[in-house]
Structure 1
Amino acid sequence: MQVVLPRIGTVAAWRAEARRLAAAGVLPETVLWSVGEAAPDLFAASPAPRAASVAFRLPRVAVESIETALMHADPERFARAYVLVLRLARQEAIWGDRSDPALHRLLEQEKAVRRDIHQMHGFVRFREVTPPGANRRAFAAWFEPAHHILEAAAPFFARRFGDMDWLIATPTLTARFEAGELEILETANRATPPVDATEDLWRVYFANIFNPARLMVNAMTSHMPRKTWKNLPEAALIPDLIRTAPERVAAMRAAEAAAPGPKLQRRLRAISAQREGR
C-alpha cells in the first residue's frame, strides 16, 4: 500500500493516515510512505495482509515528540514512526525508555529538529525588497535548514515581524507573510534576494562587538554551524577575525599594561578636580 503525503501539512497528513491504517489493521511492513509523489513499488499489486485494529491513545508528550521528529530529514521517518506508535499503542514499548533503540533514535531526531528550528530563528537574515510607493516595508530571506522545519519555525517570525511583509524561502517550501496573513507555499524561485545596504552596517557592527579575548572556535561553530555561514553576511568576516584574534588580544593587553591602574586613575581625577576648583 502506497501512502503519498503532501509537501505542505505533511505531519498532520501522516497522523491522519497512521490512525486510518492502524484502525484498518494494516501492518507496517506493507506500507510504502512517500512525500509529494508516489515511489515505485514492484509489489503494488500484491494483497496486503492485515492484523487486528489498533486505536491510538498516546500521552500528549509522546505525540508532540513524534510529530516533531517527523520533520527530520530521515527518509524512513514515517515508516519508523508508524511502527513505534503501533508498539506504544499495544504496550509493547514504554514511552521514555531510551534503552529501546527505536525510541532512542526518535528522541535524538526530535532533538536535532528542535536545534535546527532554534538555529533558523537565530540565523535568518532578511534583505529589504520594499517596492517604491509601498505602504509596508517588505523583506525576503533565503535559508537552508537541515530538516523540514519551515512550517514549525515560521510562526515565530510572524509574531516578531508582524508589522512588515516578509518572505522566507527554503529549497522546498516558502513562508510568505503579507498584510498579517501567513501562508506556506512550495518554493518556485530558488534565487537569493539581492544584497541591500544594511548588510554593510551589520558587518561593521559585528566586527566591533567581536571580542578576540573570549574567542572559542569550537563553541562558536557549535552555536553557529559552518553550514549556515554561506547565508550570513557577517560570516565572511569570521575567518579573518579568528586569524587576527591573537594579535588583537596582545594589543589589548599591552594597552591595558600601559594604562594607569584604577587607584592611580582615581588619584589623578581627584587632583584634576582640585585644580579645577581653584
Structure 2
Amino acid sequence: MKLLRYGKKDFEKPAALDRDGNIRSLASLVDDFNPDTFEALANAPPDWPIDDLPIGTAGARLGAPLSKPGKIVCIGLNYRAHAIEAGMPIPTEPVVFLKASSSLSGPYDAVVLPVNSSKCDWEVELGVVIGRRAKRVTPSAALDHVLGYCVVNDVSERSFQLERGGQWTKGKSADTFCPVGPYIVTRDEISDPQTLQLRCEISGRIAQKSNTSDMIFSVAETISYLSGFMTLEPGDLVCTGTPQGVGHGSQPPVYLKNGDVMTLSIEGLGEQRQVTMAERD
C-alpha cells in the first residue's frame, strides 16, 4: 500500500493510491498518519475498500506522508563509496545524529536556503518509518518493527554542520530541510530494502546513482543498533544515509544555489522534486 497526505500545508488529509494511481481519501477512516495510526496499521493491517473511497482533488499539493514524527534519527557515512569520497574511515559503528522534526517538508515543496548559508547540499536517502515500538531488538527481528519505506532528501548546510562547532544537527535542521515522500510504501511491497536503486539529479545533472547494497550497516542492523540506545516509537523516521555524489564531496565542491532543481528517486518508492529558493531576511 502507498500512503500519502494531500492538501494545504498544516491541513493535509490522509490518503492512499489505488491501483490506477488515483489519490483516494482516507479521511473517513483515519484522522491522520500519526504515531497512533501507524501503530494500529502495523499491528492490524487494514482491509480498506480503496477503490470505493472518494477520489482526492486532482493536482493537489502533497505533504510529507507522515505527521509529527516524535524524532528523526539519521545515520551518517553509511555508504562505503560516500565515506571514501568524504575522506573518512569506514565506520565501525553507525554514526548517529538527529534532525529536527520541524524540518519536515512535502516532496514537492520548495527548499529554502537559509540566510547566511553558503554550502547547502543534497542527500538522497532511504527513509524507514517505524510502526511498532522497538527497544533492544535483534537484527533478525528489526524489520518486524518497520511500517514502510520512503524517499528522503537530507538537505544539509555544510558550513553550519562542519564549521560552527558542536554536533551535525545544526546543519541538518533548517525549515524545509527534510522533504519526505511522495508516499510511504508499506513493508509488504518491498521484498528486500538492500537492493534498491537510488538516484539524485541536480538541475538535470546526475549527481548520485547507487544502490542500498552499498550500505555499511543494513536497515535491520541500523534499527537494531539504534534501539539499543533509544526506544524507537511508531511514527519515528530513520534516515539511513546517503551514497556518494554529494556536492561537498565534489572536486571542487559544488553547492546548491537559488533556483536549482533537485529530483530524487528510489526504486519502488517514487520520485520527489524541489526547487531551491533563497530565504529573505
TM-score by length of 1: 0.19
Identify, as 1 or 2, the structure richer in strand: 2
More helix by share: 1
Identify which of structures 1 and 2 has the higher relative contact order when contacts are C-alpha pairs closer than 8 Å and 6+ apart: 2
The structure whose Rg is larger is 1
